[in-house]
Amino acid sequence: MARPAIVTDDMVYLAQHIVKEADSARELREGLSVLIPKTCDITYSETAKVLGVGVATVVRMQRKIRDQVAGKPITKGTWGGRRRQNLTPQEEGEFLQSWIEKAAQGGVLVVPPIHAALEKRLGRSIAVSTVYRMLARHGWRKVEPDTCHPKHDVEAQEEFKKNSRRYWQKLPNKIS
């Protein structure tokens, strides 16, 4: 049998206030997650069925109200975010600053030296894909070679095409 929901009178009072002042269905469900088990004496799973949410959601909503009654500060949810980050975005920017200076001077940057420097800074090995994702986060992209050289001369190319020897034509026979 599932655990019965433990609901205090202070939680009921706060839940009633939340239900009266609810601006959204989410807030209404939060208040009802406390009121329904208290008035009907049912479990978390039965409450979840009535509210149309999962059991874990009912427990989370009740915990939120329980924390408000206890006076704990309301924090934004713990879902999402970069939980396994190696460096903060600011630290990543500082790390990449020296590489940005090299790129500004016209140097070609390749990932292996950046990867080695990052491993040295972190003191452990990391996947190369980590470096690629970090570069993408900071707006770096892979630059492909262009179809022509930046210092090409169109006139010289056309002149070469007109006056170059055509190798596919048979050379005249020389009679000596």
pLDDT of residue 143: 67
* HSE value, Cβ hemisphere, 13 Å, CA-based, for 119: 12
3-class secondary-structure state, position 47: helix
pLDDT of residue 82: 78
| DSSP conformation class of 43 | B
pLDDT of residue 128: 94
| DSSP conformation class of 54 | -
| Residue 29 in tokens | 């469900």
Phi-psi region of 106 (alpha: psi -120 to 50; beta: other; left: phi over 0): left
Q: How far apart are CA 134 and CA 74, in angstroms?
A: 32
Mean pLDDT in residue range 138-149: 76
**Considering the entire predicted model, what is its pTM?**
0.46
Give the model confidence (pLDDT) of 39-96 as tens digits.
Answer: 888 888 899 999 999 999 999 999 889 888 888 877 666 677 777 889 999 999 999 9
3-class secondary-structure state, position 117: helix
Q: How far apart are CA 118 and CA 121, in angstroms?
A: 5
